[in-house]
Amino acid sequence: MNFLNYFTKDIGIDLGTANTLVYVKGEGIIIDEPSIAAVNNKTSQVLAIGEEAKKMLGRAPSHISVIKPLVGGVISDFEMTQEMLRHYFKKIRNNNLFNYYRVVIGIPPNLTEVERKSVEDAVVLAGASKVFLLEEPVAAAIGARLPINEPVSTMVIDIGGGTSDIAIISMGGVVKAKSLKIAGDKMNSDIIDFVRSEFKLLIGEPTAEELKISVGSAIPLDEKLEMAIRGRDVSTGLPKEVVVKNHHIRTAIGHSLASIIEAAKETIENAPPELVGDILRRGIYICGGGSLLKGIDSLIEDEIGVKTMVIEDPLTCVARGAGIAAEDPETYAQIFNAPLKPFDIEL
């Protein structure tokens, strides 16, 4: 057994719409890069993956395509997803002639069997020997060391790049879940539309992302935040600079935040009464990149009336949970093999 362990690598992957994180047993998270690839259209050569490809977003010439292979938590470009995963496996490969990769990968709870099979095939074709699929809210709860196997409910809201996944977990499985394609990318789109409408200025996704992180918030703040941005004037087509303030971003993303909160309310309304009592006592846990938006925990707490906490290190909890499960797949076998639970999808 020890001989086999020498060749085995237990890996946990959070294959996100915005970022991909890879956890390796004994080493922790060693890869955290954007889920983006740049391809030369003339030669079909992959020029860059991850951080280097992100730098090309909105700046590449016509013969270079900057691709996001995952949209809304679902693989939209199978070959590029495979190339991206193969690239990451090469990074973690040791000097052994033979490597046995045992992979646990996080997936949104709303995927169909075809979409799940697509994820599994992409990981296997990239070089994995064995693949287990784990729903992301469950992985986040495992990564946060929450008591998911006990007969009490744990409510997790994972606000990622492409999807917001809301799940109530009890006894190792998802009791109720709701997934909607309103998350970080949708907020960026909201900001782009607002700046165009309010300031008659065209900006790209990187600028919108920077605005959201730097001056965005879910609630009014005591401090005044503002940021100067540059783009193309809609009327003249020439460069233009404007100053965007905190309340502008709050207005821009307000509808998306309201949709996420409404989905969380509906999930609670459809849950068994005993589990709802547990939620009131134990609180709601939020994670993902969206949980870093200033004041989002306070907004959810005020709207739902339940104590809301951001999971420690919310960006990595899904990858950590997948990694913990990969280290001990026998313990989590029931979670891997569990059939799809009831869920609702909102576009």
Whole-number pLDDT of residue 343: 43
Q: What is the pLDDT of residues 290-299, one digit of tens each?
A: 999 999 999 9
Instruction: Report the candidate in 132, 133, 167, 139 with the shortest Cα–Cα distance to residue 153.
Output: 167
Q: Strands (DSSP E) along 35-172, which ranges? A: 37-40, 45-49, 64-67, 70-71, 74-75, 100-107, 130-135, 154-159, 164-170
Domains annotated for the chain, with CATH where assigned, are: 2-140+317-337 (3.30.420.40), 148-182+253-310 (3.30.420.40), 184-247 (3.90.640.10)
Q: What is the pLDDT of residues 128-148, one digit of tens each?
A: 888 999 989 999 999 999 988
**259, HSE (Cβ side, Cα atoms, 13 Å):** 19
Q: What is the pLDDT of residues 238-272, one digit of tens each?
A: 999 999 999 999 999 999 999 999 999 999 999 99
Per the structure block, which two tokens stand in for 38?
């740049």
pTM score, two decimals?
Answer: 0.88
Whole-number pLDDT of residue 342: 44
pLDDT top residue among 333 and 25: 25
Q: What's the pLDDT band for 333 if we cut at 50, 70, 90?
A: confident
Task: For residue 53, give every residue at least 6 positions away whose Cβ sits within 8 Å of its Cβ, in sequence order, or none.
Answer: 34, 36, 37, 38, 47, 66
Strands 164-170 and 173-180: antiparallel
Distance (Å, whole) CA 294 – CA 80: 34
Q: Looking at the predicted structure, is the pLDDT value of residue 231 above 80?
A: yes
Whole-number pLDDT of residue 1: 47
Q: What's the pLDDT band for 311 if we cut at 50, 70, 90?
A: very high
Of 133-137, 202-206, 216-220, 326-330, the least confident = 326-330
Question: Which residue type, as a one-letter code, is found at position 218?
Answer: A
